[in-house]
Amino acid sequence: MTTNTKVVGRLAPSPTGAQHLGNARTYLIAWLSARSQGGRMVLRIEDIDASRVRPGAIESAIDDLRWLGLHWDGELIVQTQRVNAHRDALDRLKALELVYPCTCTRSDIERAASAPHAENEGPIYPGLCAHRRASDAESLAPRPFAWRMRTTNEAIPFDDGLRGPVALNLHQIGGDFVVWKNDDSPAYQLAVVVDDADAGVTEVIRGDDLIPSTPRQLLLYRALGHDAPKFVHVPLVIDEDARRLAKRHGDTRLSLLREAGVAPEAVLGLLAWSCGWIDEVVPIRSVDLLGRYRLDAIPREPFVLTREILTKIGFPA
Ligand code: GLU
Ligand code: ZN
């Protein structure tokens, strides 16, 4: 057996909408990081939130990555096809009594939670079901229940590849969190850890809106006995009103740029310029960026995408 210390990165689009320039920027950084270290790249479709998957969005995300020249290795990984692996991990957490069945509804939680909470995070789970043991699940049926991971009141530190040391206490950002939903499907936090660990991913590069997920995932890595990858959280792309580019901002959809006749090299040039790797917005291929990629050149603030910048790549015509 040979020891494989090679870098493995991943691209993990959610087919809940179209991929836009903000997604492309994160994918480009992830791709260049792995490739510039001679690493492998896996592509995983995060379709776990099945009810929110949009028709055609998987094919479209794949076309977008090919168009940009961000190639991956091996077979495409589809998250919904990995539910057995997710379930095995849940069973291990149950055996360790690290998870408990939670029958709370949203309003139960809101009523019981006292502290104000951050908009995206929801209220801190007040531990209403934390007294339960895993085996109590048997007597709960037919009531629907989720599985929550027990958290401790301590800061979980990690060294972010771009921001440096970060430490978050899960008791201050949501408390015990859901790893299995009450519709009997895996939650993002568990699926992502199991899938990244099984694919041998060594570096996770993603938007900094996911920073609060990292301590949760680190807890799961530890509980499941896997080595955690390196985490790099990159600033998002926002529009002129300081709103984050959501998939609903139709005009930065990659498929639309493609249809408008914008060249992928023009898009890559714009993104490379936004990351500080080239001085001007000029067309460039993904492979030609390999020698220019530097993580520490990326500005720490969100990138503001203006109409004027878009016209530099001939869009809108
Ligand atoms: N699928 C997520 C997204 O598209 C990324 C999740 C992750 O990188 O962990 O926002
Ligand atoms: Zn509960």
Rounded Cα gap, residues 147 and 170, in angstroms:
16
Which residues participate in catalysis according to the annotation? 247
Question: What is the tens place of the pLDDT at every residue in 279-304?
Answer: 999 999 999 999 999 999 999 999 99
The answer to the question of residue 1 being in a domain is: no
The answer to the question of residue 242 being in a domain is: yes
- The packing angle between helices 188-198 and 213-224, to 10°, is 60
Any ligand 1 atom below 6 A from CB of 208: no
pLDDT, residue 279, reads: 97
Q: Do 303 and 219 lie in a common domain?
A: yes
Q: Do 118 and 226 lie in a common domain?
A: no
The answer to the question of residue 228 being in a domain is: yes
pLDDT, residue 250, reads: 53
What is the token pair recorded at 167?
A: 């430490």
Rounded Cα gap, residues 175 and 87, in angstroms:
22
Domain's final residue, options 186, 211, 245: 186
- H helical segments located in the chain: 21-36, 57-68, 83-95, 106-112, 188-198, 213-224, 254-259, 264-274, 307-312
Cβ distance 310 to 316 under 8 Å? yes
Total number of domains in the chain:
2
Q: Do 201 and 269 lie in a common domain?
A: yes
Average pLDDT (217-243) is: 94
Regarding beta strands 237-238 and 155-160, do their DSSP bridges make them parallel or antiparallel, or are they unpaired?
A: unpaired
Phi–psi pair at 111, nearest 5 degrees = -65, -40
Ligand 1 atom having least distance to the Cα of 196: 9
Q: Do 40 and 71 lie in a common domain?
A: yes
Q: Do 42 and 60 lie in a common domain?
A: yes
Rounded Cα gap, residues 32 and 287, in angstroms:
8
Q: Do 195 and 307 lie in a common domain?
A: yes
pLDDT, residue 2, reads: 46
Phi–psi pair at 81, nearest 5 degrees = -90, 5
Domain's final residue, options 186, 218, 247: 186
What is the token pair recorded at 224?
A: 């499941």
Task: Return the SS3 of 244.
Answer: strand
Q: Which residue range is the domain that position 56 belongs to?
A: 8-82+191-311
The answer to the question of residue 246 being in a domain is: yes
Any ligand 1 atom below 6 A from CB of 286: no
Average pLDDT (225-234) is: 98
Rounded Cα gap, residues 231 and 204, in angstroms:
5
Domain's final residue, options 142, 170, 186: 186
Q: Do 201 and 283 lie in a common domain?
A: yes
Q: Do 72 and 198 lie in a common domain?
A: yes
Any ligand 1 atom below 6 A from CB of 206: yes
Q: Do 216 and 127 lie in a common domain?
A: no
Write the DSSP symbol of residue 246: -
Say which ligand is closest to the CA of 17.
Answer: 1
The answer to the question of residue 51 being in a domain is: yes
Q: Which domain CATH number covers 166?
A: 3.90.800.10
Which one-letter amino acid corresponds to residue 237?
A: V
Q: How far is the CA of 135 from the centre of ligand 1 (A)?
A: 32
Q: Do 66 and 110 lie in a common domain?
A: no
Question: What is the tens place of the pLDDT at every residue in 163-206?
Answer: 999 999 999 999 999 999 999 999 999 999 999 999 999 999 99
Cβ distance 19 to 254 under 8 Å? yes
